[in-house]
Amino acid sequence: MNLVKNGIEAMVNDTESTRAKTLRVEGREDGEWVVIQVEDTGPGIKPEHINKLFQVYFSTKGSAGTGMGLFLAQEVMKAHGGTIDIKSSYGKGTIFIVRLPAYQGPVQQTI
Protein backbone atom coordinates (compact mmCIF):
# COMPACT_ATOMS: atom_id res chain seq x y z
CA MET A 1 0.00 0.00 0.00
CA ASN A 2 2.89 2.35 0.74
CA LEU A 3 4.16 2.02 -2.84
CA VAL A 4 0.70 2.85 -4.24
CA LYS A 5 0.34 5.82 -1.87
CA ASN A 6 3.80 7.12 -2.80
CA GLY A 7 3.01 6.84 -6.52
CA ILE A 8 -0.24 8.74 -6.15
CA GLU A 9 1.42 11.46 -4.07
CA ALA A 10 4.26 11.80 -6.59
CA MET A 11 1.80 12.36 -9.43
CA VAL A 12 -0.45 14.74 -7.48
CA ASN A 13 2.53 16.84 -6.44
CA ASP A 14 4.01 16.91 -9.96
CA THR A 15 2.62 20.26 -11.05
CA GLU A 16 5.22 20.83 -13.78
CA SER A 17 4.36 17.91 -16.05
CA THR A 18 1.50 17.96 -18.52
CA ARG A 19 1.74 14.19 -19.09
CA ALA A 20 -1.26 12.03 -18.25
CA LYS A 21 -1.16 10.72 -14.67
CA THR A 22 -1.31 6.95 -14.56
CA LEU A 23 -0.78 4.43 -11.77
CA ARG A 24 -0.54 0.77 -12.73
CA VAL A 25 -0.31 -2.17 -10.34
CA GLU A 26 0.43 -5.54 -11.89
CA GLY A 27 0.98 -8.95 -10.33
CA ARG A 28 2.27 -12.12 -11.93
CA GLU A 29 4.01 -15.39 -11.20
CA ASP A 30 7.60 -15.76 -12.32
CA GLY A 31 8.78 -19.28 -11.57
CA GLU A 32 8.98 -19.61 -7.80
CA TRP A 33 8.33 -15.89 -7.29
CA VAL A 34 5.32 -13.62 -7.14
CA VAL A 35 6.19 -10.29 -8.75
CA ILE A 36 4.22 -7.11 -8.09
CA GLN A 37 5.00 -3.94 -10.03
CA VAL A 38 3.77 -0.50 -9.04
CA GLU A 39 4.35 1.99 -11.84
CA ASP A 40 3.56 5.70 -11.87
CA THR A 41 3.98 8.50 -14.39
CA GLY A 42 5.09 10.98 -11.76
CA PRO A 43 8.27 13.04 -11.90
CA GLY A 44 10.58 10.09 -11.29
CA ILE A 45 13.30 9.95 -8.68
CA LYS A 46 16.39 12.12 -8.83
CA PRO A 47 19.46 9.96 -9.53
CA GLU A 48 21.18 11.18 -6.37
CA HIS A 49 18.24 9.92 -4.27
CA ILE A 50 17.92 6.39 -5.68
CA ASN A 51 20.52 4.80 -3.38
CA LYS A 52 19.08 6.56 -0.31
CA LEU A 53 15.40 5.66 -0.69
CA PHE A 54 15.44 2.70 1.67
CA GLN A 55 17.53 4.40 4.36
CA VAL A 56 15.67 5.02 7.59
CA TYR A 57 14.52 8.66 7.93
CA PHE A 58 15.39 9.56 4.33
CA SER A 59 12.49 11.34 2.62
CA THR A 60 12.08 13.23 -0.63
CA LYS A 61 8.91 14.82 0.79
CA GLY A 62 10.57 17.25 3.18
CA SER A 63 8.68 17.71 6.44
CA ALA A 64 5.64 15.92 4.94
CA GLY A 65 7.47 12.57 5.04
CA THR A 66 8.81 10.49 7.91
CA GLY A 67 11.37 8.51 5.95
CA MET A 68 9.92 5.30 7.35
CA GLY A 69 7.60 4.03 4.59
CA LEU A 70 10.09 2.57 2.11
CA PHE A 71 12.46 1.52 4.90
CA LEU A 72 9.69 -0.52 6.55
CA ALA A 73 8.43 -1.88 3.22
CA GLN A 74 11.90 -3.20 2.46
CA GLU A 75 12.27 -4.69 5.94
CA VAL A 76 8.95 -6.54 5.56
CA MET A 77 10.02 -7.88 2.15
CA LYS A 78 13.35 -9.06 3.57
CA ALA A 79 11.56 -10.78 6.47
CA HIS A 80 9.52 -12.76 3.92
CA GLY A 81 12.51 -13.61 1.74
CA GLY A 82 11.68 -11.00 -0.90
CA THR A 83 13.11 -7.85 -2.42
CA ILE A 84 12.11 -4.42 -3.69
CA ASP A 85 13.87 -2.94 -6.71
CA ILE A 86 13.48 0.44 -8.40
CA LYS A 87 13.55 1.55 -12.02
CA SER A 88 13.14 5.28 -12.40
CA SER A 89 13.61 7.79 -15.17
CA TYR A 90 13.77 11.30 -13.79
CA GLY A 91 11.06 13.33 -15.50
CA LYS A 92 9.15 10.24 -16.68
CA GLY A 93 8.14 8.03 -13.77
CA THR A 94 9.05 5.17 -11.48
CA ILE A 95 8.51 1.43 -11.23
CA PHE A 96 8.88 -0.42 -7.94
CA ILE A 97 9.28 -4.18 -8.38
CA VAL A 98 8.44 -6.39 -5.41
CA ARG A 99 9.50 -10.04 -5.53
CA LEU A 100 8.22 -12.51 -2.95
CA PRO A 101 8.68 -16.28 -2.82
CA ALA A 102 5.53 -18.03 -4.06
CA TYR A 103 3.72 -20.17 -1.53
CA GLN A 104 4.76 -23.79 -2.07
CA GLY A 105 2.45 -25.48 0.45
CA PRO A 106 -0.86 -27.27 -0.11
CA VAL A 107 -3.64 -25.31 -1.77
CA GLN A 108 -6.88 -25.04 0.19
CA GLN A 109 -10.13 -24.27 -1.54
CA THR A 110 -12.91 -22.46 0.24
CA ILE A 111 -16.44 -22.30 -1.01
Give the pLDDT score at 18: 79
Residue pLDDT, tens place only, 24-74: 999 999 999 999 999 999 999 999 999 999 988 888 776 777 788 899 999
Q: Is residue 110 part of a domain?
A: no
Residue 86 has pLDDT above 80, yes or no: yes
Buried b (16+ CB within 10 A) or exposed e, 31-50: eeebbbbbbbbbbbbeeeee
Whether this model's pTM surpasses 0.85: no
Give the pLDDT score at 28: 97
Q: Is residue 108 part of a domain?
A: no
* Strand 93-101 versus strand 83-89 pairing type: antiparallel
Contact between 40 and 8 (Cβ < 8 Å): yes
Please enumerate in sequence order all residues whose Cβ is within 8 A of that of 4, keeping only pairs 6 or more positions apart, or say none.
23, 25, 38
The parent domain of residue 28 ranges over 2-101
Domain total of the chain: 1
Give the pLDDT score at 74: 95
